[in-house]
Structure 1
Amino acid sequence: MQPFDQIDRLERAEALDRPAAAIRPVVQRLLRDRRVKDALHGVWLGHPLHPALVHLTLGSLLSASLIDLVGGKRRYSTGLIATGLLLTPSTAAAGWADWSAAHPDQQRVGLVHASTNALAVSCYAAALWKRARGRRGGRLLSLAGAAVAGAGAALGGHLSYHLALGANHADRVSDLAPQGWQPLGALSEVAEGTPVRRTAGEVPVFVLRRGEQVDVLADRCPHLAGPLSGGEVVGTDGNARVVCPWHGSEFRLDDGHVVHGPATSPVPRFETRVVSGKLEVRIAPPD
């Protein structure tokens, strides 16, 4: 059996659902402040924050282990371990924020990923503690931390690239949508004030009519592809937003931009026009 077959089995390990169910409400309570939650997701960055922090944190720790492996100067390795450990709390917090809004199969792998990383950090912390007291064994603990961190990184890569946690699930809409104007039916047939689902070519779209104004977005939440047409519309006029029914991401209706996460990418927007009473749309160019 290939190593990644074992990771695939984690996705189906329902025994992990019980600890996930116990941890999830704790994380959600800690993230009650939406400003903090949005910051940890990376809404302000327009990109998931956790992977960016991982590069700094893991890079510092693994660099320290490489110095230890080749017999480099101990003070350089020690400084890098200290840097990695200082970055660990913010990196872990961003990871837990993303985990709390993930699908069950993602959360199962994520739990093992977090546990592996906790063990790696413990090894590095023990190495730093020994060095601070002038004791031997710090180098071996540093190398052990690197080995465990490598396994954790493999799980993190599986989450990102295989299970697409943090990916933009609406990225290909602009490529798949027809470039010309597409009919969506008679404007009179679109109920006012209630989101409906239509199809532009073969691309599902979210349609909301408010008087003579019609807002059309891709019917696909960038976070985990939730159907926006099943969501609630909140706010009025220029502040109107649609809330994804799956994980609560909010998007402005006029331009599709993210207001609240966990999504960090905007929803593709469609231009609209009415010709002889018929509603037509076409994909809007990127902002």
Structure 2
Amino acid sequence: MLQRLLERVEKAGELDRASDPLQRRVRATLPRRLKDLLHGVGLGHPLHPVAVQLPVGAWMSTAVLDALPGTESAATVLVGVGTAAALPAVASGATDWSELSREQRRVGLVHAAANTVALGLYAGSFVARLSGNHRLGRTLGYTGLAAAGLGAYVGGHLSFRQGAAVNQAEPYLRQIDEGWHDLYAWNELTEGRPEVARIGEVPVLVTRIGDRVTVIMEHCAHQTGPLGDGEITEIGGAACVVCPWHGSTFRLVDGAVVRGPSANDQPVLRSRVVEGRVQASLP
């Protein structure tokens, strides 16, 4: 039933009236460096799944303590820690959400709403416990845990059903056969200007840099944008390609992400030049 409900949410265009202006506000509010930090650029994957560990762990531990006698003080501390630690999780989640597709953002609103309810209930639980009303604090805590559980289910749909924030380029590696594949003649490549080649049906970006060649996946890791249509820029002395869809920026020499919203590096293939021909194979 929940699965069918979320499928209806994906198609609920009326949610865009709230989603679109909120997306613009989040994008306009945060400076680039803070966005990159909240996306998890440099971490190797999005920051949000890491940031949720502390509040969820604290709240789960609170639920265990609330079932035991004489643990009121410890439970109160854990509720306070979890509630305060939720703020970085909210910030990173909102930043990731603002760069999702429209259907993903609709489901993301439900995920955020459930977790906002959970956060409000735990804040109320903390206040009740501080005032000595531990019975009300426990009730609000267990209700908040239920809301957080619902939010986690919706988040699972967002990640594993809709593919939000996962490396969208990685699955294309599975479509490449083993062995070396011929791509280009070396003298057809211009220094620092990427060219698109295909290995079967999979497009790859081939770049001549000095006396070497690099090959990365052409579909952007963030939302499969065509990097072959992207702008070439220099960051930190290295040539980079900017995705034309959302601005994720990757170093051509090794596929490393240098600017978000992608938190994932662009997959790199092994490459070599044999008898004047550029070849590539799986990593």
Using the size of structure 1 for normalisation, the TM-score is: 0.88
What amino acid does structure 1 have at the position aligned with 2:80? Answer: A
Partner of 1:251: 250
Partner of 1:240: 239
Which of 84, 87, 91 is residue 86 of structure 1 equivalent to?
Answer: 84
Which of 130, 134, 140 is residue 132 of structure 2 equivalent to?
Answer: 134
Q: Separation in 2 of the partners of 1:106 and 1:71?
A: 43
State the aligned residue count.
282
Query: Do 2:76 and 2:130's aligned partners in 1 also have CA atoms closer than 8 Å?
Result: no
What amino acid does structure 2 have at the position aligned with 1:29? Answer: A
How big is the shift at 1:203? 2.5
Change (3 A) 1:236 1:16: closer
How big is the shift at 1:177? 2.6
SS at match of 1:240: strand
Partner of 2:27: 28
Give deviations 1:185-214, integer Å, cap 9, x for gaps: 445555776543221244210124568754
2:18 is aligned with 1:19: yes
Partner of 1:269: 268
- Runs of at least 4 residues off by over 6 Å: none
SS at match of 1:270: strand
SS at match of 1:183: strand
How big is the shift at 1:233? 0.9
Query: Do 2:42 and 2:257's aligned partners in 1 also have CA atoms closer than 8 Å?
Result: no
Q: Separation in 1 of the partners of 2:126 and 2:4?
A: 35
Gaps of 5+ in 1: none
Partner of 2:99: 101
What amino acid does structure 2 have at the position aligned with 1:43? Answer: V
Q: Separation in 2 of the partners of 1:224 and 1:204?
A: 15
Q: Separation in 1 of the partners of 2:40 and 2:206?
A: 27
Partner of 1:54: 52
SS at match of 1:199: strand
Q: Separation in 1 of the partners of 2:163 and 2:86?
A: 23
Q: Separation in 2 of the partners of 1:23 and 1:80?
A: 32
Query: How is 1:172-251 mapped onto 2 (pairs within 5 angstroms)?
Result: 172-187=171-186, 194-209=193-208, 214-235=213-234, 239-251=238-250
Query: Do 1:173 and 1:268's aligned partners in 2 also have CA atoms closer than 8 Å?
Result: no
Using the size of structure 2 for normalisation, the TM-score is: 0.90
Give deviations 1:219-270, integer Å, cap 9, x for gaps: 1222222221121111189510011122211111111111112222221223
Change (3 A) 1:143 1:271: closer
Q: Separation in 2 of the partners of 1:91 and 1:79?
A: 19
Change (3 A) 1:218 1:146: same
How big is the shift at 1:39? 1.1
SS at match of 1:48: coil
Change (3 A) 1:211 1:126: closer
Moved more, 100-109 or 224-233: 224-233
Change (3 A) 1:24 1:140: same
Gaps of 5+ in 2: none
Q: Separation in 1 of the partners of 2:259 and 2:171?
A: 22
SS at match of 2:38: helix
Q: Separation in 1 of the partners of 2:281 and 2:236?
A: 23
Q: Separation in 2 of the partners of 1:189 and 1:146?
A: 60
Query: Do 2:189 and 2:195's aligned partners in 1 also have CA atoms closer than 8 Å?
Result: yes
Aligned sequence identity (%): 42
Q: Separation in 1 of the partners of 2:162 and 2:22?
A: 21
How big is the shift at 1:142? 1.1
Q: Separation in 2 of the partners of 1:77 and 1:225?
A: 45
Give deviations 1:150-180, integer Å, cap 9, x for gaps: 1111111111211121212223444443342
Query: Do 1:207 and 1:229's aligned partners in 2 also have CA atoms closer than 8 Å?
Result: no
